[in-house]
């Protein structure tokens, strides 16, 4: 599928009126994850409006411990209205349903085809089923669906003639996953410096008890100028996922060691830690992953055993 974008469409598009004539229906998205081999489904609120606050729906789900499966079902009762001389493409052609998944906080950016269909008077069903791996999701992730020209054999006047051109007038559906609130989100920002390594971690906090765990006080800096950056951004191989996991684990270990062993703070002395302070996050990591905080070696080895 082409990544071509429409600048000014000079051909017919599938607008809301045409979607209604086709009886294009979208079921409510479903979200699942496995915990100790038991499948759990997130229960969405009636007014979620396309934005899914995962940790608010289930505080047991953790992006470092769990995968997340997204299932979105589409039904087109009368797809034939899209085809023919008065439709958006000729009867001989194919229309595809594509998805654009993108997130700066999760370093995700790709488009792919979900399915395609031809002229038919019978209802068709398309299901998007995708599993995000452990430690793949951070911050806000956008999942945008659109219709495009999958194959072009013939075209009428004012119809798209190039494979890959967008046919939908705007997005068919836009979902947003929000991953936060459980201490697993790591602040990440990008730099561009050919003289710097792939990643570094910076510490800007003055008081871990009070200062929030955000990009202003602590952050992983990913170097866009490094030759491995695009591999991490795409995340298409086991190696690229492993590199990003290692970066997160080592950064967690550095922070835990600094707070507990260098600044000599004891989480046992803070029973009622709340919010998003650095110490609250460190306590969350230590308790959740059963981290041995004796020294730096014990910390990183504990995290590797828990998260690999």
Q: What is the pLDDT of residues 47-83, one digit of tens each?
A: 778 889 887 788 778 776 789 999 999 999 999 999 9
The answer to whether residues 98 and 147 touch, using CB atoms and an 8 Å cutoff, is: yes
The answer to whether residues 82 and 14 touch, using CB atoms and an 8 Å cutoff, is: yes
Q: Output 97 or 135, whichever has higher pLDDT.
A: 97
Q: How many angstroms separate the CA atoms of 125 and 115, rounded?
A: 10
Sheet holding 199-203, edge to edge: 188-191, 218-223, 199-203
Q: Is it the case that residue 238 has pLDDT exceeding 90?
A: no
Question: For 161-213, how does the pLDDT look when each residue is reduced to its tens digit (9 = 90+)?
Answer: 999 999 999 899 999 998 864 444 678 888 999 999 999 999 999 999 988 88
Q: Is it the case that residue 276 has pLDDT exceeding 90?
A: no
pLDDT of residue 233: 64
pLDDT of residue 235: 57
What rounded mean pLDDT belongs to the chain?
A: 87
Q: Is it the case that residue 142 has pLDDT exceeding 90?
A: yes
The answer to whether residues 83 and 90 touch, using CB atoms and an 8 Å cutoff, is: yes
Q: Is it the case that residue 267 has pLDDT exceeding 90?
A: no
The three-class DSSP label of residue 187 is: coil
Q: Is it the case that residue 36 has pLDDT exceeding 90?
A: no
Q: Is it the case that residue 92 has pLDDT exceeding 50?
A: yes
- Domain locations in the chain? 16-179, 188-307
| Stretch 260-280: mean pLDDT | 83
In the structure, what pLDDT confidence band is assigned to residue 6 with cuts at 50, 70 and 90? very low
pLDDT of residue 10: 80
Which is nearest to 187 in space by CA: 206, 203, 166, 169?
203
Taking CA atoms, 245 is separated from 47, 186, 234, 252, 299, in Å, by 34, 11, 14, 11, 15
Least confident of 92-101, 153-162, 204-213, 263-272: 263-272
pLDDT of residue 182: 43
pTM of the model: 0.61
In the structure, what pLDDT confidence band is assigned to residue 4 with cuts at 50, 70 and 90? very low
């Amino acid at each position: 599928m082409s990544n071509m974008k429409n600048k000014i469409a000079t051909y017919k598009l599938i607008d809301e009126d045409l979607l209604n004539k086709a009886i294009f229906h979208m079921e409510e998205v479903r979200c699942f994850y496995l915990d100790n081999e038991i499948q759990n489904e997130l229960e969405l609120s009636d007014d979620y409006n396309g934005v899914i606050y995962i940790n608010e729906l289930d505080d047991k789900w953790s992006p470092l411990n769990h995968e997340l499966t997204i299932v979105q079902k589409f039904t087109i009762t009368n797809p034939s209205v899209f085809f023919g001389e008065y439709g958006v493409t000729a009867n001989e052609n194919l229309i595809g349903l594509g998805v654009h998944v993108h997130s700066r906080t999760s370093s995700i950016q790709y488009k792919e085809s979900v399915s395609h269909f031809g002229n038919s008077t019978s209802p068709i069903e398309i299901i998007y089923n995708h599993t995000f791996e452990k430690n793949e999701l951070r911050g806000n992730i956008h999942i945008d669906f659109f219709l495009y020209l999958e194959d072009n054999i013939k075209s009428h006047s004012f119809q798209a003639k190039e494979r890959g051109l967008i046919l939908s007038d705007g997005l068919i559906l836009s979902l947003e996953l929000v991953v936060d609130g459980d201490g697993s989100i790591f602040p990440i920002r990008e730099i561009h410096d050919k003289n710097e390594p792939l990643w570094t971690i910076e510490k800007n906090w003055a008081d871990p008890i009070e200062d929030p765990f955000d990009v202003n006080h602590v952050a992983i800096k990913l170097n866009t100028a490094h030759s491995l950056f695009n591999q991490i951004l795409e995340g298409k191989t086991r190696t690229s996922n492993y590199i990003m996991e290692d970066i997160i684990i080592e950064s967690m270990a550095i922070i835990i060691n600094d707070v507990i062993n260098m600044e000599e703070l004891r989480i046992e002395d803070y029973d009622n830690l709340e919010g998003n302070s650095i110490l609250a996050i460190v306590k969350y990591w230590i308790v959740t992953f059963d981290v041995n905080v004796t020294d730096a070696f014990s910390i990183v080895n504990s995290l590797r055993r828990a998260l690999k």
